[in-house]
Chain A
Amino acid sequence: MAEVTKLIHKYLRHDKKFPHVWCPGCGIGIMLGGLIRAIDRIGYEKDEVVLVSGIGCSGRLPVYVDFNTLHTTHGRALTFATGVKLAKPSLKVIVIMGDGDAVAIGGNHFIHAARRNIDVTAIILNNSIYGMTGGQYSPTTPYGMRSSTTIYSNIEQAFKISELAVTAGAVFVGRGTVYHAKLLDSLMEKAILKEGFSVVEVIAHCHTQYGRQNRLGTAVEMMEWQSENAVAVEKAATMKPEELRNKIVIGVLVDKELPVYQDEYKKIRERAKTTVGR
């Protein structure tokens, strides 16, 4: 049996009514494949994995896979994940979000989960648009681009999700694209294994909405753009800022050590039991 068929049998939910909700050519499937391959390589039991998501196209991802899956409210996935992880730290908690989910409505939760160093992995699919609701601009829609709600032009500056995560204190931040599938697999594996708040930003295309409205071509053409404009982080270090404008820096941006929340909380419990009064 081909490797991919084995993984499909092992991880997809056979009792779920397929087909899935994603458009033909969507990048979310590549992200899901990478996630499954990463979990399979690490060797987690399906019972110990909790997949949490918010709302939007990427929010629909957990329903298809055979883990403990939790499809929460818009932007709040990290708050639910925080509760799951702290209540039962043996669970491996992975959060799937979109760009609007993670840094618009969920922006506050995102920076605070990073600051606290909660041991969860946030995988954020960034396709620069609200796809499910019909192509409205998101906090990562670049300046000057068109969307359903910026017909005349987007006059807002875009967030850089990975850089935001670095600033907020995430201990592991990696960025990849759905074109660079092998890099994405390894980034997800590293992020999941990392203790503390880890982030993988997945640059993807939404040819149905963002691509169509900005005349960027088919899914394949948009993926070719990812290939042409991605710069490895090692190479980017040797380039000037003006050379890096409109480029996507991919690879591991941060990998550092900070005390992990649940380990610190264990110490608090010990202190609470030995301290009399205040």
Chain B
Amino acid sequence: MERKSQSQRKKKSHQKELLLQGNEAVVEGALRAGCRFFAGYPITPATEISEILSIKLPQVDGTFIQMEDEIASLGAVIGASLAGVKSMTATSGPGFSLMQENLGFAIIAEVPCVIVNVMRGGPSTGLPTSPSQSDVMQARWGTHGDHPIIVLSASTVRECYDMTIQSFNLSEKFRTPVILLIDEVVAHMREKMVLSDGEGVEIFDRVKPTVPPEWYIPYEDTPSGIPAMANFGEGYRYHVTGLTHDIRGFPTSRPDEIGPFIARLHRKISQHFSEIQMAEFFQTEDAEITIVAYGCVARSAKRAVVEAREKGLKVGLLRLVTIWPFMRSAVEKVLQISKILLVPEMNMGQISREVKRVNRGVSRVFTLNKVDGTIITPEEILNRIEEVS
């Protein structure tokens, strides 16, 4: 993704070295992005995000509220966003399941908001204190109906900060909920992070209508596919509904209105792939074997690449930062170089299915799946490389 730094936001930077946890970095990123409303429900391993925001949000005239469950949490977040305040919630697997209902609402009503899911082992209550990457498909398809979704991930504490800001920016820009998937390891790990006060971080705010209220069409199709968004109480009275609606927001059952509406929901994401999709290519230029990884596993994978290179094996890493929409182009790029792809994941093979789908038999795709609540180590990846090469 192209990162522009706006000169007016660039002040003389004041560098701060911090030792932060991933969850703490999420909080710092959220506040930097302009988040001023959080509603959540206690759940391990995401709880620190709630606890710290309950202290920090009132200090900046923001609002923190602990709701009665995760359904209510996302409902309150959507309500606050409609009133014009950047809003988020944070949860883990079981809570994320409960949020699927209102996630669909935010998609169809095009309400910006951010959901951080600190993944733990499942199904059900599963492994509350152990890491996992098993919500990749739930993030994609958890809510019913055909829908696009933006899902980002983070491998480092610094990236928790950056990707929380990105999540807010993308949600405001595309009027859609954005999910940030991190795992228990990244969320609870402490790393040094250098934060500069005046750092040229671009902050994007939703585009508001500039036309007179009587001309405002809240769900109008535009070349970008993204209509301007009026906040409640600012003179543009309109209807927001979870029913399939026409361009004015009123429920419709006319096929000639439904089809174009659902198509636009998808198009507003698909025609902006280049702005959404982020990945890191690490030593892939000459790689005979490329590892495709994300989240905490990508850390082990990077180590494995270094160690494999020391042994004379040409191994590279494609690290996915954007999980959904799936980075087909990035995978196609490494498929042109590598005859073997290895996808290590802390699930039974959720992203490897996508890699195989893109591969269509061109190269050989191998998996390494671990679901016992422990991380995949560099040694395990190296061993698997030796097995498949």
Q: A interface vs B, CB < 8 Å?
A: 13, 15-17, 46-48, 50, 52, 62-63, 66-73, 76, 79-88, 90-91, 108-109, 112, 265, 268-269, 271-273, 278
Report which of A63, A83, A265 forms a contact with B87, defined as CB distance below 8 A. A83
11 A-B pairs in the complex with CB atoms less than 8 angstroms apart? A50-B83, A63-B251, A70-B79, A70-B232, A83-B37, A83-B82, A87-B63, A112-B72, A269-B58, A273-B58, A273-B59
Residues in B whose Cβ lies below 8 Å from that of A67 = 237
* Bound-state Cα–Cα, A70 to B76, Å: 13
Is B67 close to A, CB under 8 A? yes
Interchain CB contact (< 8 A) of B61 among A17, A109, A269: A269
Range of interface residues on B (Cβ < 8 Å): 35 or more
CA gap between A41 and B122 in the complex, in Å: 55
The B97-129 residues at the A interface (CB cut-off 8 A) are: 101-102, 105
Tell me if A48 and B237 are in contact (CB < 8 A): no
Residue B209 interfacial (CB < 8 Å):
no
Q: Which secondary structure characterizes the binding site on chain B?
A: mixed
* Interface majority SS (helix, strand, loop, mixed), chain A: helix
Report which of A48, A73, A112 forms a contact with B105, defined as CB distance below 8 A: A73
Complexed CA–CA distance, A169 and B77 (Å) = 24
Please tell me if the beta carbons of A71 and B80 are within 8 angstroms of each other in the complex.
no
- Chain B contacts of A88 at CB under 8 A? 83-85, 231-233
Shortest beta-carbon distance from B256 to chain A in Å: 14
The segment from B157-165, B239-247, B351-359 that touches chain A is B239-247
Query: Residues of B contacting A86 with CB < 8 Å?
Result: 37, 63, 65, 76, 80
* Residue in contact with A87 in the complex, picked from B37, B72, B235, CB distance below 8 Å: B37
Q: Which residue of B lies closest to A83 (CB)?
A: B79
- Please determine whether A268 and B58 come into contact, CB atoms closer than 8 angstroms: yes
Shortest C-beta distance, B115 to chain A (Å), equals 14
Q: Which residues of B contact A68 (CB under 8 A)?
A: 232-233, 237-238
A60 to chain B, nearest CB (A): 8
Q: Within the assembled complex, what's the spacing in Å between the Cα atoms of A69 and B241?
A: 8
Does A63 lie within 8 Å of B80, measured CB to CB? no
> Chain A contacts of B75 at CB under 8 A?
72-73, 76, 79-80, 82-83, 109
Q: Enumerate chain A residues within 8 angstroms of B65, measured Cβ to Cβ.
A: 82, 86
List A contacts of B105 (CB < 8 A).
72-73
Residues of A within 8 A of B73 (CB): 79
Q: Which of B44-67 contact A (CB under 8 A)?
A: 55, 58-59, 61, 63, 65, 67
Closest to A277 in B: B55
Q: Are B68 and A112 in contact (CB under 8 A)?
A: yes
Contact B240 A76 (CB under 8 A): no
Tell me which residues across on chain A come within 8 A of B55, comparing CB atoms. 272, 278
By the criterion CB–CB under 8 Å, are A79 and B242 in contact? no
Contact B240 A70 (CB under 8 A): yes
B84 touches A87 (CB 8 A): yes
Residues of A within 8 A of B76 (CB): 79-80, 82-83, 86
The 8 residue pairs across chains A and B that have the minimum distance between CB atoms: A83-B79, A79-B75, A83-B76, A272-B58, A87-B80, A83-B80, A80-B79, A87-B83
Given contacts A13-B239, A84-B82, 6 further A-B contacts (CB under 8 A): A16-B250, A63-B251, A73-B101, A88-B233, A108-B69, A271-B58
Q: How far is the CA of A17 from the CA of B247 in the complex (A)?
A: 13
Asked whether B81 is an interface residue with its Cβ less than 8 Å from the other chain, the reply is yes
Bound complex: CA of A5 vs CA of B243, how far in Å?
30
| Partner of A48 from B39, B63, B233 at Cβ < 8 Å | B233
Q: Does B298 interact with chain A (Cβ within 8 Å)? A: no
**Alpha-carbon gap, A231 to B59, bound state (A):** 51
- Kindly report which residue of chain A lies nearest to residue B75, judged by CB atoms: A79
B68 and A84 contact, CB distance less than 8 A? no
CA distance A90 to B83 in the complex (A): 10
